[in-house]
């Protein structure tokens, strides 16, 4: 019977005059017509118009006045689905564009709710509410007070501008009035960008005292915006921060910076500036740049902008394809270290690289060609090593052109052994100035050739697990001629699983690995169908003679290297362990590194341990023994604890420690943090930093809510 009545209602609606059809379609369980102009619909009534959908228990449509008298409960949904209106009764125009609703609620983007005694729809654009309570917090029957709310005499929601205007607004926290604002404008949850104030934050440090940051966001167009952030601290510190962003058809740019006056450096204007951007160019090239500068070494630490001890600025154009890489870049360095001088370090570096891989046709195998130029410049002109005593001439400038070709071809031998013939040749031409020892032009040609044998053994267990054991022997020959070039880009040498079988373990071009040698290693890996895997690698390098190329901290010094032992363990996506040790014949540690990462629904942990002996050649006069960690633990569904730190075992002291708590539910995010930097130098002192921030979910699109509170039955 209900279906027949519904069909009859639709047919009757279609039989109405054309202008009525254009306004609305009405469907219900029962339908009555009184007189010539009144239509009464009862039971599961729905009205559809231009994407809007209205549901009610009873609707009376008067064609003469073109009005709808509606009895609730009423649910009105806009076409976008981001606006929902609930009410007990209403008097609306037939096209739902205007009218009055009583005991109404306006729900925006399923987040912000505005409850009012009366609601008016005006000009199909505005929704005006009287005696309003606004909140995105869930309330329970036994506890009807939301965590936060804004009460106002009148609220207007502009659907076109997507703004909410409050008159005589009062902000309450847990029912307690905290702030009165005569006029207040805030964006609705569907608006991602709008000019206005953002949520403030509080920061307290032992150097600057307590301060408050009040960001102001300015929309400069569809593709640009500016954020100004005044920061006023108690100890006579005034800072203005800025962030400018603009998007283009082919890329974007971002400018970040700040200017400060404080008592830490009386009479000085301090500041920081960073410019970043990337653009796509013709022929699939990519242009990227990242430039930053600061007025003094301590500024970034004082104002919580990071703990970098060197700033590098760069412009790069690059393209990477399947068998080709091209890049051109210019890099500028600014040191913040106490023991370095910007005039004696390479402050400007320029590189150009072309790298191509190709097959060699009749010869077989795979070859490569790399062409590279490198230049670096120091502003000092002194040809001697000065007060820094780093064995580098203070003004040394270097230019280099390099060409390298390499080739490798593999064969399968009996018993499943894979044999490979490989080699490479490099030619370098150097031009050096402002150096009393190395000044002038020189060239170098160096080559390495060898063979490699791999014998993988594979076993598949009954349960589906796969084990692989692979011994590898690599025999290489290189010239033993002594170096006649200064080494600046290959000082830090790592010995790990990644370069155990490399032809050259130096990371740069200034130094090359010389002399006949044998790289020997074995690896074991197990892949389990349950989702975990484990691997172990053991290896060593044997040389015909010790040529004195490597320092004691590299693990590669001597006629035979230290033992390299590495292990990894991965459990699905929740746990990852990796460790690497470099030990001498007495099993004393030269270097060691261990990392652990844990990721579960409640816990996230990342920690690393580093151990390295002293090595002046690697600019490490003292041993390094340090552990760092960063952990998060979900205490409840809404409360998360955070802890981080760094401890120096050599100095027997912590260098950095941090604690934090974050509360996040469906309507609020509250974050409190405390950190302490223990290290000091001539430019910075130990500092304690306290931060406090509060974000209300439901205004603008910047904050996503968390789990809603649970109500007791």
* Residues ≥6 apart with Cβ < 8 Å to 258: 229, 231, 239, 240, 241, 242, 271, 272, 303, 305
CB 413, CB 441: distance < 8 Å: no
Q: How many CB atoms lie within 10 A of CB 150?
A: 25
Q: Which residues pair with 450 in a beta bridge?
A: 422, 476
pLDDT at 2 over 70: no
Residue at which a domain ends, from 174, 197, 220: 197
The whole-number pLDDT of residue 198 equals: 85
User: Which tokens in the block code for residue 677?
Assistant: 């930097």
CA 606, CA 578: separation in Å to the nearest integer?
A: 12
pLDDT tens digits, one per residue of 339-384:
888 999 999 999 999 999 999 877 789 999 999 999 999 999 999 9
Give 552's Cβ-side CA count (13 Å radius): 10
**How does residue 17 score in pLDDT terms, banded at 50, 70 and 90?**
very low
Q: How far apart are CA 496 and CA 128, in angstroms?
A: 68
* Strand ranges in 505-623 using DSSP code E only, listed in sequence order: 517-527, 532-543, 563-571, 575-583, 589-599, 603-612
Respond yes or no on whether the N-terminal peptide bond of residue 305 is cis (omega within 30° of 0): no
pLDDT at 18: 38
Confidence of residue 386 (pLDDT cuts 50, 70, 90): confident
Whether the CB-CB separation of 218 and 228 falls below 8 Å is answered with yes
Contacts 24+ apart (CB under 8 A), 368-371: 368/404, 368/405, 368/406, 368/407, 369/403, 369/404, 369/405, 370/402, 370/403, 370/404, 370/405, 371/402, 371/403
For residues 463 and 315, the model is more confident at 315
Sign (positive/negative) of CA torsion 294, 295, 301, 307? positive
Q: Which sign, positive or negative, has the C-alpha torsion 12, 14, 19, 25?
A: positive
Judge whether 596 lies within some domain: yes
Q: How much of the chain, in percent, has pLDDT values that exceed 90? A: 62
Per residue in 623-677, pLDDT tens?
A: 999 999 999 999 999 999 999 999 999 988 888 899 999 999 888 899 999 998 8
**Strand pairing class (196-197; 176-187):** unpaired
The three state secondary structure string of 315-357 is EEEEEEECCEEEEEEEEEEEECCCCCCCCCCCCEEEEEEEEEE
Residue 150 lies in a domain: yes
- 676: which strand partners? 657, 688
pLDDT band with cut points at 50, 70 and 90 for residue 701: low
Q: What are phi and psi of 161, to 5 degrees?
A: -80, -15
Question: pLDDT higher for 35 or 665?
Answer: 665
How confident is the prediction for the chain on average, in pLDDT?
A: 89
| pLDDT in the model for residue 76 | 85
| Cβ–Cβ under 8 Å, residues 697 and 703 | yes
- pLDDT attached to residue 712: 66
Please check the confidence at residue 159 and state whether its pLDDT lies above 80. Answer: yes
Residue 464: both structure tokens together: 């589906």
Confidence of residue 19 (pLDDT cuts 50, 70, 90): very low
Q: Is 589 buried (19+), middle (13-18) or exposed (0-12) by CB count in 10 A? A: middle
* Long-range interactions of 572-576: CB distance < 8 A, separation 24+: 572/531, 572/532, 573/599, 574/598, 574/599, 574/600, 575/599
- Tell me how many helices (H) and strands (E) the chain has: 3, 41
Which is more confident, 219 or 702? 219
CB contact set of 443 (below 8 Å; sequence gap of 6+): 427, 428, 429, 430
| Cα 474 from Cα 302, distance rounded (Å) | 52
Last-in-domain residue among 166, 197, 228: 197
In this predicted structure, the answer to whether residue 57 has a pLDDT above a threshold of 60 is yes
Range of the domain at 473: 456-634
Q: How confident is the model at residue 573 (pLDDT cuts 50, 70, 90)?
A: confident
pLDDT of residue 419: 96
Q: How far apart are CA 355 and CA 10, in angstroms?
A: 71
Confidence of residue 10 (pLDDT cuts 50, 70, 90): very low
pLDDT tens digits, 173-185: 888 998 899 998 8
- What pLDDT sits at residue 3? 36
Q: Which helix (H) or strand (E) holds 7?
A: helix 2-14
pLDDT value, residue 4: 35
At 254, list the tokens. Answer: 């971002």
Of 142, 177, 197, the last residue of a domain is: 197
| Contact between residue 527 and residue 466 where contact means Cβ atoms under 8 Å apart | yes
Tell me what percent of the residues of the chain surpass a pLDDT of 70. 95
Is residue 444 situated within a structural domain? no
Query: Which band of pLDDT confidence, cut at 50, 70 and 90, is reported for residue 155?
Result: very high
Give residue for tokens 């609020």.
Answer: 668
The CA distance from 350 to 328, in Å, is 8
The three state secondary structure string of 125-166 is CEEEEEEEEEECCCCCCCCCCCCEEEEEEEEEEECCCCEEEE
Write the DSSP symbol of residue 562. P
CA gap 389, 393 in Å, rounded: 9
Query: Which residues have a Cβ under 8 Å from the Cβ of 636 and sit 6 or more positions away?
Result: none
Q: What is the pLDDT of residue 320?
A: 96
Work out the average pLDDT over 289-306. 93
Does residue 351 form part of some domain?
A: no
| CA gap 667, 227 in Å, rounded | 24
Q: How far apart, in whole angstroms, are the C-alpha atoms of residue 317 and residue 251? A: 13
**Highest mean pLDDT range out of 38-47, 89-98, 703-712?**
38-47
251: in domain = no
Total number of domains constituting the chain: 2
Does residue 503 form part of some domain?
A: yes
Query: Quick one: average pLDDT of 13-30?
Result: 58
- pLDDT at residue 577 tops 90: yes
Comparing CA positions, the residue from 253, 97, 132, 111 lying closest to residue 191 is 111
* Cα torsion 388, 389, 391, 396: sign: positive
Residues 6+ apart with CB under 8 A from 515: 478, 479, 480, 543, 544, 545, 547
Let me know if residue 7 belongs to a domain: yes
Helix (H, G, I), strand (E, B) or coil at 19: helix
What is the model's pLDDT at position 142? 74
Place of tokens 């329970």: 140
Q: Helix or strand or coil: residue 701?
A: coil
| Both tokens assigned to 90 | 């209403």
Q: Does residue 227 have a pLDDT over 90?
A: yes
**With 70 as the cut, is the pLDDT of residue 11 above it?**
no
Is residue 15 over pLDDT 60?
no
How far CA 112 is from CA of 36, 100, 149, 188, 348, in Å, comes to: 43, 21, 10, 8, 53
Residue 540 lies in a domain: yes
Confidence category of residue 338, pLDDT binned at 50, 70, 90:
confident
pLDDT tops 90 at residue 315: yes
Given a cut of 70, whether residue 297 has pLDDT beyond it is yes
The Cα 66–Cα 59 span in angstroms is 13
**What's residue 680's pLDDT?**
64
Give the C-alpha separation, 170 to 164, whole Å.
15
Q: Comparing 446 with 700, which gets the higher pLDDT?
A: 446
- List, in sequence order, the alpha helices (H) in 86-188: none
Distance CA 471, CA 592 (A): 23
Q: How far apart are the first and last CA of the chain?
A: 39
Q: Can you tell me whether residue 361 is helix, strand or coil?
A: helix
Read off the tokens for 384: 């001697």
pLDDT in the model for residue 23: 56
């Amino acid at each position: 019977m209900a279906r027949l009545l519904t069909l009859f209602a639709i047919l009757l609606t279609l039989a109405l005059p054309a202008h009525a059809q254009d306004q609305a379609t009405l469907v219900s369980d029962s339908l009555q017509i009184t007189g010539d102009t009144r239509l009464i619909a009862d039971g599961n009534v729905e009205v559809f118009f231009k994407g809007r959908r209205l549901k009610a228990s009873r609707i009376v449509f008067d064609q003469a006045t073109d009005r709808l008298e509606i009895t609730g409960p009423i649910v009105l949904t806009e076409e976008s689905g981001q606006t929902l209106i609930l009410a007990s009764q209403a008097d609306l125009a037939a096209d739902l564009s205007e009218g009055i609703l009583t005991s109404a609620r306006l729900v925006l983007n399923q987040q912000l709710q505005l409850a009012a005694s009366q609601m008016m729809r005006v000009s199909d654009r505005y929704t005006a509410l009287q005696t309003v309570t606004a909140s995105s917090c869930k309330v329970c029957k036994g506890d009807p007070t939301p965590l936060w709310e804004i009460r106002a005499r009148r609220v207007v929601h502009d659907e076109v501008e997507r703004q909410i205007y409050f008159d005589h607004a009062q902000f309450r926290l847990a029912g307690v009035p905290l702030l009165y604002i005569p006029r207040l404008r805030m964006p609705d949850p569907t608006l991602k960008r709008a000019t206005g104030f953002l949520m403030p934050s509080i920061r307290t440090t032992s150097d600057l005292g307590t301060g408050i940051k009040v960001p102001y966001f300015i929309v400069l167009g569809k593709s640009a915006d500016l954020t100004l952030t005044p920061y006023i601290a108690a100890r006579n510190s005034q800072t203005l921060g800025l962030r400018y962003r603009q998007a283009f058809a082919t890329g974007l740019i971002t400018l970040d910076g700040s200017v400060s006056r404080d008592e830490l450096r009386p009479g000085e204007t301090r500041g920081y500036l960073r410019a970043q951007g990337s653009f796509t160019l013709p022929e699939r090239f990519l242009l990227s740049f990242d430039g930053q500068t600061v007025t003094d070494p301590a500024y970034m630490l004082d104002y919580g902008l990071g703990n970098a001890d060197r700033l590098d600025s760069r412009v790069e154009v690059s393209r990477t394809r399947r068998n080709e890489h091209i890049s051109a870049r210019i890099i500028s360095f600014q040191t913040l270290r106490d023991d370095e001088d910007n005039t004696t370090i390479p402050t400007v570096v320029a590189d150009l690289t072309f790298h191509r891989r190709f097959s060699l046709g009749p010869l077989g195998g795979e070859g490569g060609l790399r062409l590279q130029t490198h230049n670096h410049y120091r502003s000092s002109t002194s040809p001697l090593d000065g007060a820094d005593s780093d064995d580098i001439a203070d003004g040394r400038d270097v230019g280099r052109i390099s060409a390298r070709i390499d080739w490798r071809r593999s064969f399968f031998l009996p018993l499943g052994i894979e044999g490979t013939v490989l080699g490479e040749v490099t030619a370098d031409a150097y031009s050096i100035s402002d150096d009393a020892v190395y000044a002038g032009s020189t060239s170098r040609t160096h080559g390495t050739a060898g063979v490699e044998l791999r014998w993988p053994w594979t076993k598949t267990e009954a349960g589906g697990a796969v084990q692989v054991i692979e011994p590898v022997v690599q025999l290489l020959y290189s010239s033993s001629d002594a170096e006649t070039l200064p080494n600046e880009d290959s000082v830090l040498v790592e010995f790990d699983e990644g370069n155990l079988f490399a032809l050259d373990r130096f990371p740069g071009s200034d130094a090359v690995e010389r002399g006949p040698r044998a790289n020997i290693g074995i690896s074991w890996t197990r892949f389990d169908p349950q989702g975990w895997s484990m691997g172990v690698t053991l290896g060593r390098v044997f040389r015909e003679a010790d040529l004195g190329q490597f320092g004691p901290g590299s693990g590669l010094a001597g006629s035979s290297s230290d033992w390299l032992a590495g292990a990894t363990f991965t459990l699905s996506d929740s746990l990852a362990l990796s460790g690497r040790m470099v030990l001498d014949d007495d099993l004393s540690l030269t270097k060691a590194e261990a990392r652990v990462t844990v990721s579960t629904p409640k816990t996230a942990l990342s920690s690393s341990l580093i151990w390295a002996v002293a090595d002046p050649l690697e600019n490490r006069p003292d041993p390094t023994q340090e552990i760092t960690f960063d952990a998060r633990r979900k205490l409840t569904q809404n409360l998360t604890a955070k802890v981080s730190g760094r401890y120096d075992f050599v100095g027997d002291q912590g260098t950095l420690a941090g604690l934090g708590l974050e509360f996040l539910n469906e309507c609020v995010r509250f974050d409190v943090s405390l950190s302490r930097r223990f290290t000091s130098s001539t430019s910075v002192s130990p500092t304690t930093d306290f931060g406090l921030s509060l974000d209300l979910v439901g205004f603008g699109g910047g904050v996503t809510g968390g789990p809603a509170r649970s109500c007791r039955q």
